[in-house]
Structure formats: structure tokens, C-alpha cells
């Protein structure tokens, strides 16, 4: 699996996923949502973000991009992430 980590996701989540062997890319802090969607679509990545805008207002051409949106962290993410 390949993930695209938004800037608002704690770095420890990225580290946990990388330690589990997943292909991880983090977006630049200046990236707009539309740019993040384009990258994820082009590279076939799943977006992980804490930005609730990814639930709403997604342009039609990116409706098929996979997204994981969370708004809070569980205390034990290391054990919660099992793909």
C-alpha cells in the first residue's frame, strides 16, 4: 500500500506506517487540497489527513481517490494500525 500523508498528520503516524513497511510520502506544507488529490490520483496513493475538507467538496474527477480522514488520535495508534 502507498500512502500520502497530509501535513496535519502527526509525524509519529508516518513513522509507524513506514516501520510497518508501507510506502509513505508526506506532502509539503504549502500543498493545497487539489494538489494533494492530484498527487494521490497520479501515484495511486491513499490520503491520510486530519482535514475534514476531504470529506466534502471533492472535485468530480477525484471522487475515486481513496481517503482516510481522522479528526482525533487514539492513544495507542501503534497497535491500532493493522492493514
Asked if residue 12 has pLDDT above 90, the reply is no
Asked if residue 76 has pLDDT above 70, the reply is no
Distance CA 56, CA 53 (A): 5
Confidence class of residue 78 from pLDDT cuts 50, 70 and 90? low
DSSP label of 4: E
Confidence class of residue 77 from pLDDT cuts 50, 70 and 90? low
Asked if residue 24 has pLDDT above 90, the reply is yes
Query: What is the 3 state secondary structure string of 18-59?
Result: HHCCCEEEECCCCCCHHHHHHHHHHHCCEEEECCHHHCCCCC
Amino acid at each position: 500500500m502507498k500512502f500520502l500523508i497530509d501535513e496535519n498528520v502527526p509525524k509519529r503516524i508516518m513513522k509507524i506506517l513506514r516501520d510497518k513497511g508501507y510506502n509513505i510520502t508526506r506532502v509539503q506544507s504549502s500543498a493545497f487540497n487539489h494538489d494533494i488529490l492530484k498527487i494521490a490520483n497520479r501515484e495511486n496513493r491513499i490520503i491520510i489527513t486530519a482535514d475534514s475538507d476531504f470529506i466534502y467538496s471533492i472535485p468530480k474527477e477525484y471522487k475515486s481517490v481513496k481517503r482516510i480522514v481522522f479528526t482525533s488520535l487514539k492513544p495507542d495508534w501503534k497497535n491500532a494500525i493493522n492493514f
